Structure 1
Amino acid sequence: MFFLETAISVFIGSFLLTYLTIPKIIKIVEYKRLMDDPNKRSSHSSKTPTLGGVSFYYTLVFVLFFVHGRDLMDEAIYIIPGLTILFMTGLKDDLVVISPGAKLIAQVIAVAFILVNPSFTIHSFNGFLNIFEIPYYLYLIIAGFIMITIINSYNLIDGIDGLASVVGIVILTIYTTIFYTTGEYFFALISVSLNACLLAFFGFNISSERKIFMGDTGSLIVGFIISVLTLKFLALTPDAYVGLPFLLENAPLIAISILIVPLFDTARVFAIRIANKKGPFSPDRNHTHHVLIDFWGLSHKQASFIIGCFNLVFVVLFIVLGSKAENLGMVIFLISAVIILAYIFFKYNYNFTTLKQKILLKRKVGQIKSSIENPKKEKSKKNSKRDINN
């Protein structure tokens, strides 16, 4: 009961703090002309305020201050430095742009603060693919790779209105449930707080009058917190999994299913860029959300809603399978699902030049069809008028 009251207070406080301060950020950004200028890859056509993620940072710092003490191993003290490093990195990237290498170095330093805390140490894979205890150095490599992958994957999906918010809300809702069930209330409260931030931000992000982007400042922060929650989930002791509705050894696959949208999109985009002999971080419009908008004709809201629903359904499916199926069978199922998704989107492998040509061709075909249909309609109208007059 006490946790419920605290969670409600954290949610309301985080929501109001974000909701009430974002308009102030918009005014400052507009006054200082720190707007995001659209380019040939942009999904927006007008200058738009950015730096919405600034509100995430100070909200999370406030929450960490008030809930500090619920962390049994001082996790808050280790989270704040990493959070601050990525906040400063994202802020600089939004204002003057930094190189991918510099951004990666900042991520490694931020992640290092988390890895040295014993609370996040993964001691065993609990029988996943018959792997049990792992040495500490292997944990550092695996955990570091997991966190950096999640941070960059979430950063890359922030390409259209509402998508990063919707996907983040789905992921954080699931982690809130998991950590509440396992009694890890500190991490449940962090999930609740960031979820409230995203809900408050979402209304501005999809607005036509008071629009703002979270920018790299926001996406790096959210990706970092999600990576921390994922690592903590994998580091839970076997006793903590008793109340969860899936087998202990299936935990890594459940984590992948929770993050399926950013992970799949990043893997697909990187594969296409490398195949096109480009750098994995070179910009283009090959993301899944771009496919839904450019080829399937969906709006930003529709694409975000569909992707968010897919993420939720995929997680539920894997939790149901994870309650009974052995992890080898689930691995085969996961690989099959990824192959099917990759095949569906394979024909949308394009660079910007090809995309532009296809869009122009599609518009010309539409114009030709309309020009052919209009004379027919006019003729039919004239014939009907003659019949009436006769």
Structure 2
Amino acid sequence: MLLFLLPALIAFAMTFAIGQLLCKPFFAQYFLAETGGEKLHKTAVPASGGIALFFGIFCTALAFEGDYLIRNHLYLLLGFSAMFLLGLVDDLKSLGWLPKLFFQILIISLVVIFADLRLQSVLLEHSFFQIPYYISVILSIVLLTFFTNAFNFIDGIDGLATTVALLFILGLLYFQIPFSSVFLMCVGAALFGFRRINKEPAALFMGDSGSLFLGFLCAAFLIIFIEADLTASNTRLESYQQRLPIIVALFWYPIFDTIRVLIIRILSGTSVFKRDRLHSYSLLLRVGYSHTQIVILVVFLTLIQVAAVLFIEPKIGLTVFFLLQIVFWLLLHLFLNLLIKNFKRRNLKK
């Protein structure tokens, strides 16, 4: 058992140790995050946690399972590394949204083509649809870009993005994704180690080097989980079609928050790339929730949705379940709006 857990223990220790080192003034001075304006933090904190996460994960995973990972997932690993380097460059000197998006799409396109990381089929209510190759490539690039940036967008308060990624990875391990368990354990353990430094009040942020790397990693595993071999047995799920709602439930918060903000910006006529405080975590902070309370709320709602997939979806079917999911997200949006209206009303009375 100890030998099985050894990679995770090393990944935890390495990430935590590197993270503590990056908090020292000598290293922190190169990565101090901006404060004020639309930023939610008022004190300068180094945004270099992605370095600790990347090396904690990769050094450990390659040391224990390097031959297997390189032989079977070389292009995927190169894609993760390229996304980390893109984020690291942006942390050191801001690239602007357009160049950063261009390089993201370039990296993702190369991984989709060379690693054949594609959404190739859709299974709905026991109906199987095969997606034509070129449509599959374009759709996969769009989805991977969206999910990568959706994760990047939620990295705005202490511990939130770290916890969402950790829940996602633990969910993949529990629901038996067909990928290296050693690599996944290293990711989970590294996130646990980083969480010790990133929880409220955070001593270290993950920065774009971490959020782009982890966002792309989660997005890639999302497709791998959905596209698992139809013949692969899974004792955790009642049917193959539960893969899609399970993965949506595990990654629901970045999807919900990003879609919500994009729709609001489009309807208001503002740029979809404009930085603002429309994100749900920003609204909750304004009405008095702490960083820790918001993280707990997201965890609680994630577990509820996963439980709903396991116990309710088999009884009502996939189509009805997703309709209920949309209704739930809409009600959550209305609840957030109501909180803000009540908050403004109370302030006007003062």
TM-score between both structures, scaled by the size of structure 2: 0.90
Compared CA separation, residues 80 and 299, structure 1 to 2 (3 A): same
- Measure the CA separation in 2 of the matches of 1:175 and 1:313: 17
Ranges in structure 2 where 5+ consecutive residues have no aligned partner: none
Compared CA separation, residues 211 and 292, structure 1 to 2 (3 A): same
- Measure the CA separation in 2 of the matches of 1:238 and 1:118: 20
Aligned to 2:190: 197
Aligned to 2:209: 217
Aligned to 2:133: 136
For CA contacts below 8 A with separation 6 or more, give which structure has more relative contact order: 2
- Measure the CA separation in 2 of the matches of 1:88 and 1:234: 27
- Measure the CA separation in 2 of the matches of 1:285 and 1:27: 30
C-alpha offsets along residues 252-278 of structure 1, whole Å, 9 cap, x if unaligned? 222222111000000111111222221
Q: Residue 145 of structure 2: which of 148, 165, 170 is its match?
A: 148
Alignment map for 1:97-108 (pairs within 5 Å): 97-108=94-105
Q: Residue 18 of structure 1: which of 5, 15, 19 is its match?
A: 15
Q: Does 1:338 align with 2:329?
A: yes
Alignment map for 1:236-385 (pairs within 5 Å): 236-295=228-287, 297-347=288-338, 358=344, 362=347, 365=350
Alignment map for 1:69-84 (pairs within 5 Å): 69-71=67-69, 74-75=72-73, 77-84=74-81
- Measure the CA separation in 2 of the matches of 1:240 and 1:340: 36
C-alpha offsets along residues 127-172 of structure 1, whole Å, 9 cap, x if unaligned? 4583422211122122222211111011000111111111111111
Contact 2:174-2:236 within 8 A present in 1 as well: no
Compared CA separation, residues 64 and 251, structure 1 to 2 (3 A): same
Q: Residue 59 of structure 1: which of 56, 61, 68 is its match?
A: 56
Alignment map for 1:6-45 (pairs within 5 Å): 7-27=4-24, 32-45=29-42
RMSD across aligned positions (CA) = 2.6
1:33 shift after superposition: 4.9
Aligned to 1:68: 66
Aligned to 2:85: 88
- Measure the CA separation in 2 of the matches of 1:130 and 1:31: 53
Aligned to 1:177: 174
- Measure the CA separation in 2 of the matches of 1:113 and 1:349: 43
Contact 1:268-1:342 within 8 A present in 2 as well: yes
Q: Does 1:50 align with 2:47?
A: yes
Contact 2:154-2:161 within 8 A present in 1 as well: yes
1:363 shift after superposition: 8.8
C-alpha offsets along residues 184-215 of structure 1, whole Å, 9 cap, x if unaligned? 251x332221111111111112254x711111
The DSSP-based 3-state class of the residue aligned with 2:47 is: coil
Q: Between 146-155 and 94-103, report the one with greater CA deviation.
A: 94-103
Contact 1:111-1:147 within 8 A present in 2 as well: yes
1:286 shift after superposition: 1.0
Contact 1:254-1:322 within 8 A present in 2 as well: no
Q: How many residues align?
A: 348
- Measure the CA separation in 1 of the matches of 2:75 and 2:3: 22
Contact 1:52-1:212 within 8 A present in 2 as well: yes
The DSSP-based 3-state class of the residue aligned with 1:125 is: strand
Ranges in structure 1 where 5+ consecutive residues have no aligned partner: 366-390
- Measure the CA separation in 1 of the matches of 2:140 and 2:28: 42
The DSSP-based 3-state class of the residue aligned with 1:313 is: helix
Question: In structure 2, what residue type is equivalent to 1:74?
Answer: N
Question: In structure 2, what residue type is equivalent to 1:326?
Answer: G
Compared CA separation, residues 72 and 251, structure 1 to 2 (3 A): farther
Question: In structure 2, what residue type is equivalent to 1:161?
Answer: D
